[in-house]
Structure 1
Amino acid sequence: MNANAVVLLQGLLSKSRDQTRQQLSDDDHNTYWVAEQYLKSTGISPEETISGIVDGEKDCGLDAIYVFANGICLSDDTPLPALGKRAKLELTLLQVKDSKGFGEEAIDKLIVNLPRLLTFDRNEQTLLSFANSRVIESTRRFLNAYRELDMPELHVYVAFASLKATHLHENTNAKAGHLKTVCTSLFGDCPVHVQFMDASSLYDLARESQVTTHNLQLSENPISTDTAGGYIGVARLDDYQSFISTKTGELDTSLFEANVRDYEGETAVNQSIEKTLSTSDPDVDFWWLNNGVTIVASEVQLANKLLKLESPQIVNGLQTSTEIHKRSRSPHDPSDERSVLVKIIQANDSAVRERIIRATNSQTSFGPSALRATDKVQRQIEDYLLTRGFFYERRRRQYYNEGRPMDRIVSIDSMGQALLSTLVQVPHIARATPSRVFEPEIYDFAFSTEFQVQMYAAAIEVMRQCDEYLRSVRAEGAEDFRFQLAMLAVIAATRKQKPSTQDLAKLESTTLETSLLGTQYEILRTQYDIESRRTRTYLLDQIAKSESVTRALLAEATRQLRGHVRQVTRRPRSNY
Structure 2
Amino acid sequence: MDKITKSLLETFSSQNEIERLAESVQFEHFSNYSIISKLNRSSFELDDIHTGSGGDCAIDGLCVIANGKIITDIDELNEITEGPGYLDAEIIFIQAKTTSSFSGSEIGSFIYGAKDFLSDNPKLVQNEKIKNIKAIWDEVINKSSYMINRRPHCKLFYVCTGKWVGDQNLQAIIDGGKAEIESLGVFENVSIAPNGATEIQKFYHETKNKLSTTINFQNRITLPDIVDVKEAYLGVIPFNEFAKLIQDENQTIHSIFDDNVRDFQGENAVNKRIKNTLSDGKFDLFCVLNNGVTLVASSITPAGNRFTLRDYQIVNGCQTSNILHECQKIDGISNVSVPIKIIVTESEDIKTEITLATNSQTEVRTEQLEALSQFQKRLELYFNAEKGDIKLHYERRSQQYNSTPGIKRTQIISIPIQIKSFASVFLESPHLVSGYYGTIVNRFKGQIFAASHKFLPYYVSSLCYYRIEQYFRSGELSPEYKKARFHIMMAVRMLSMGCVIDQLNSNAIERKCEVFKVLLLDDKKALKIFNQATQLFEKSGIDLTKRQYKSESDTEILKDAVIAHSKSLQGAR
Q: Return the TM-score normalized by structure 1.
A: 0.83
Match of 1:570 in 2: none
Measured in 2, the distance between the counterparts of 1:357 and 1:249 equals 29
Question: Does the 8 Å contact 2:260/2:314 carry over to 1?
Answer: no
Indicate if the aligned counterparts of 1:458 and 1:509 stay in contact, CA closer than 8 A. no
Match of 1:263 in 2: 264
Show CA shifts across 1:317-347 (max 9, x none).
122222323343343376x3x4222122232
The alpha-carbon deviation at position 355 of structure 1 amounts to 0.9
- Are 1:469 and 1:514, in contact at CA under 8 Å, matched by a contact in 2? yes
Equivalenced residue count is 542
Contact preservation (8 Å) 2:100, 2:161: yes
Give the superposition deviation at 1:488.
Answer: 1.4
Matched, 1:555 2:560: yes
Secondary structure of the residue aligned to 2:538 is helix
Report the Cα offset of residue 431 of structure 1: 4.1
Q: Name the amino acid aligned to 1:241.
A: A
CA RMSD of aligned residues (A): 3.4
Q: Which deviates further from its counterpart, 396-405 or 197-206? A: 396-405
Report 1:21-420 matches (<5 A). 21=17, 25-26=21-22, 27-76=24-73, 77=76, 78-85=79-86, 87-110=87-110, 113-114=113-114, 117-119=117-119, 130-149=125-144, 150-151=146-147, 152-164=150-162, 171-188=169-186, 190-208=188-206, 210=209, 212-227=211-226, 229-246=231-248, 248-259=249-260, 262-281=263-282, 284-300=284-300, 305-332=305-332, 336=335, 338-365=336-363, 371=369, 374-388=372-386, 389-403=391-405, 404-420=407-423
Q: Provide the C-alpha distance between the structure 1 equivalents of 2:367 and 2:158, rounded to a whole number of angstroms.
A: 37
* Contact 1:222-1:234 within 8 A present in 2 as well: no
In 2, Cα distance between equivalents of 1:116 and 1:29? 26
Say whether residues 1:507 and 2:507 are aligned partners.
Answer: no
2:433 to 427, 430, 449: 430
Equivalent residue letter for 1:383: L
Contact 1:52–1:138 under 8 Å retained in 2: no
Distance 1:558 1:119, change over 3 A: farther
Identity %: 22
In structure 2, give the amino acid aligned to 1:202.
Answer: I
Distance in 2, Cα, partners of 1:349 & 1:552: 48
Name the CA distance, whole Å, in 1 between partners of 2:200 and 2:49: 19
C-alpha contact (below 8 Å) 1:31/1:96 kept by paired residues: yes
CA deviations 1:227-265 (Å, max 9, x no partner) are 36232212222332334343x152451433334981223
Question: Residue 455 of structure 1 contacts residue 508 of structure 1 at CA under 8 Å; is this kept in 2?
Answer: no
Asked if 1:517 corresponds to 2:530, the answer is yes
Confirm whether residue 481 of structure 1 aligns to residue 484 of structure 2: yes
Report SS of the residue matched to 1:256. coil
Q: Deviations over 1:481-508 (max 9, x none)?
A: 3112111122222343557652334211
Any idea what the Cα deviations from partners look like across 1:171-190, whole Å, max 9, x if unmatched? 55443344334433444464
Provide the C-alpha distance between the structure 2 equivalents of 1:92 and 1:171, rounded to a whole number of angstroms. Answer: 24
SS class of match (1:222): strand
2:470 maps to 1:468: yes
* Conserved 8 A contact 1:358-1:374: no
Q: CA deviation at 1:304?
A: 5.1
User: Which one-letter code corresponds to 1:550 in the other structure?
Assistant: T
- 2:323 and 2:236 map into 1 onto residues whose CA distance is 17
Query: Is the alpha carbon distance of 1:554 and 1:108 closer, same or farther for their aligned partners in structure 2, counting shifts above 3 Å?
Result: farther
Q: Is the CA contact 1:452–1:505 (under 8 Å) kept in the aligned structure 2? A: no
Structure 1 CA distance for aligned equivalents of residues 308 and 163 of structure 2: 40
SS state at 1:39 partner: helix
Which AA in structure 2 matches 1:239? Answer: E
Question: 1:70 Cα shift?
Answer: 3.5
- Cα separation, 1, equivalents of 2:161 and 2:260: 36
1:59 partner SS: coil
Match of 1:571 in 2: none
Distance in 2 (alpha carbons) for counterparts of 1:390 and 1:8: 29
Q: Which residue of 1 aligns with 2:424?
A: 421
The answer to whether structure 1 residue 13 and structure 2 residue 13 are counterparts is no
Give deviations 1:457-495, integer Å, cap 9, x for gaps: 221222222223334256644530311211112222234
2:152/2:186 contact within 8 Å kept: no
Tell me how far apart the structure 1 counterparts of residues 235 and 438 of structure 2 sit (CA, whole Å). 36
- What is the letter of the counterpart of residue 561 of structure 1? S
Whole-Å separation in 2 of the counterparts to 1:158 and 1:367: 45
- SS of residue paired to 2:83: helix
SS at match of 1:462: helix
Distance 1:428 1:20 in 2: 27
| Deviation (angstroms), 1:120 | 5.6
2: CA distance, partners of 1:448 / 1:520: 29
Asked if the contact 2:540–2:561 (Cα under 8 Å) also holds between the matched residues in 1, the reply is no
Q: What is the TM-score normalised by the length of structure 2?
A: 0.83
Q: Name the SS for the 1:351 alignment partner.
A: helix
Question: How far apart, in 2, do the equivalents of 1:226 and 1:420 lie?
Answer: 44
Evaluate the alpha carbon distance shift between residue 424 and residue 207 of structure 1 in structure 2; reply closer, same or farther with a 3 A threshold.
closer
Q: Deviation of residue 28 (structure 1)? A: 4.8
What amino acid is aligned across from residue 555 of structure 1 in structure 2? Answer: D
Deviation per CA, 1:283-316: give whole Å up to 9, x if none: x442112111112223456555444434332211
Give the AA of the match of 1:56: S
Superposition deviation, residue 51 in structure 1: 1.7
> Cα–Cα, structure 1 residues 489 and 222, in superposed 2: closer, same or farther, change >3 Å?
same
What are the superposed Cα offsets for residues 73-111 of structure 1, whole Å, 9 maximum, x if unpaired? 2343242123444x4311001111222334455445455
Distance in 2 (alpha carbons) for counterparts of 1:325 and 1:121:
34
What is the CA-CA distance between 1:424 and the residue it aligns to?
Answer: 1.3
Contact 1:219 1:236 in 2 (8 A): no
Q: Specify the SS of the correspondent of 2:561.
A: helix
Q: Separation in 1 of the partners of 2:365 and 2:348? A: 23
What is the SS of the residue equivalent to 1:54? coil
User: By how many angstroms is 1:49 displaced?
Assistant: 4.9
Distance 1:476 1:110, change over 3 A: farther
Residues 1:527 and 1:117: Cα distance change in structure 2 (over 3 Å): farther
Structure 2 partner of 1:444: 446
